[in-house]
Amino acid sequence: MTAADPASLICPDCGPEYADRWRCTCGHPLEFADRPLPDGPAPDPAAFDTREGLWAFSEFLPVDQHVSLGEGMTPLQEAPAWDAEFKLEYVFPTGSFKDRGATTTLSRAVELGVENVVEDSSGNAGAAIATYAARAGIGAEIYVPASVKRSKIRAIEAAGATPVRVEGSRQDVTDACVAEAVGGNAWYASHAWNPAFFAGTATFAFETALQRDWAAPDAVVTPLGHGTLFLGAYRGFRALADAGWIDDVPRMYGAQAAGYAPIAAELHDDTAGTNDVADGIQIRDPVRKEAILAAIDATGGDAIALPEAPVAEELDRLHEAGFYTEPTCAVAPAALRTYRDRGDIDADEDVVVPLTGSGLKA
Ligand SMILES: [Zn+2]
């Protein structure tokens, strides 16, 4: 492979390699055939130029192009009331961690010579893909439910992307989007399917480890829908541990919304209830469910479902403490409380919790 060749993809389930496809012919999500990974002795943390944002780790990202708006290197902030560190993922150009994946996904789209992308999301992912497509000079259609509130697609339209309203369920929206991509009219810039998105979210782990001088936390607690941050973070920490830059991968703990908790349901019986506060993670069928469960198993982590009331209370606490976040991300610090109550996370352990989206969007 020369530097000019975009990285190829492989099916981890049945093996074939592709120049580019949105999924395997067997239906499985694809991964990069080769990922540039850390190796050699751990560098002096000061060797990384944090002015470059997440692109300080560009040598570990499987793209040569940089479609950038100055994203990443979000603050890692002490949160004494939670006895944890919060990583302020709402400090991103579009106000959510989804920019980590959007910057790498649109970078890959440019490498492949893509002219139009499609994505299905009425939330943070839609806004991120639309915004980075605008930066790349690439057209974007964002498929959204017909019932979507005007306020939720304002950022999509402002970036010059076209919202495509689809009647029916959330799955009908995805199906319509996929039909467009499979039909060859566009490239599927999916936060759930595209491995470039997960390569980007791995920078969450690189940054966290760097900001802690290569001392990994004992545990990380994240919201868990499609697992774009959860799985990216796991892969990033795993790559650092394999290189010996950190001692071990943190235990990965997921926080799901009751009523939409397929991972927690695999692990526990107590997933009843509803949660419409955490509307950003209402995913019934995550594309990478097996990989998420494997990450939990490999790290000794877990996933639990939270009902609405404790998440709403946690959101108030965050706001009162100066963390002006959107409702969905309160699910993670609320889950931390539960994990501590259950004795899964000890009082003397280091915990990092991402605050994933800005309250200015809600
Ligand atoms: Zn396959």
Mean pLDDT confidence for 260-278: 88
Does position 200 have pLDDT exceeding 90, yes or no?
yes
Cβ contact 50:290 at 8 Å: no
Distance 182 CA to ligand 1 centre (A): 16
Mean residue pLDDT of the chain comes to: 95
Beta-strand pair 116-120/139-145 = parallel
Q: 4: pLDDT confidence band, cut at 50, 70 and 90?
A: low
pLDDT given for residue 61 in this prediction: 97
Cβ contact 126:142 at 8 Å: yes
Does position 270 have pLDDT exceeding 80, yes or no?
no
Distance 204 CA to ligand 1 centre (A): 28
Mean pLDDT confidence for 85-91: 98
Mean pLDDT confidence for 313-328: 97
pLDDT given for residue 70 in this prediction: 97
Distance 17 CA to ligand 1 centre (A): 9
Q: Please report, as a single letter, which amino acid is at residue 272.
A: A
Distance 38 CA to ligand 1 centre (A): 27
Percentage with pLDDT > 70 across the chain:
98
Mean pLDDT confidence for 221-238: 97
Cβ contact 76:208 at 8 Å: yes
Q: 272: pLDDT confidence band, cut at 50, 70 and 90?
A: confident
Mean pLDDT confidence for 35-57: 95
Instruction: Say how far apart CA 20 and CA 15 lie, in whole Å.
Output: 14
**Which element (helix H / strand E) includes 336?**
helix 331-341
pLDDT given for residue 252 in this prediction: 98
Distance 341 CA to ligand 1 centre (A): 41
Distance 289 CA to ligand 1 centre (A): 15
**Which element (helix H / strand E) includes 275?**
none
Q: What is the DSSP string of 79-98?
A: EGGGTEEEEETT-STTSBTH
Does position 362 have pLDDT exceeding 70, yes or no?
no
Instruction: Say how far apart CA 304 and CA 242 lie, in whole Å.
Output: 28
Nearest to 228 by CA among 71, 67, 315, 104: 104
Does position 135 have pLDDT exceeding 60, yes or no?
yes
Q: What is the 3-state secondary structure (H, E, C) of 120-165?
A: ECCCHHHHHHHHHHHHHCCEEEEEEECCCCHHHHHHHHHCCCEEEE
Distance 16 CA to ligand 1 centre (A): 7
Distance 268 CA to ligand 1 centre (A): 29
Does position 1 have pLDDT exceeding 80, yes or no?
no
Distance 24 CA to ligand 1 centre (A): 5
pLDDT given for residue 215 in this prediction: 97
Distance 12 CA to ligand 1 centre (A): 7
Distance 29 CA to ligand 1 centre (A): 8
Distance 10 CA to ligand 1 centre (A): 8
Would the pTM count as exceeding 0.95? yes
Does position 205 have pLDDT exceeding 70, yes or no?
yes
Mean pLDDT confidence for 49-58: 96
State residue 315 phi and psi, 5-degree precision: -60, -40
Distance 23 CA to ligand 1 centre (A): 8
319-341 core/surface letters (b: 16 or more CB in 10 A; e: else): eeeebebbbbbbbbbbbbbbbbe
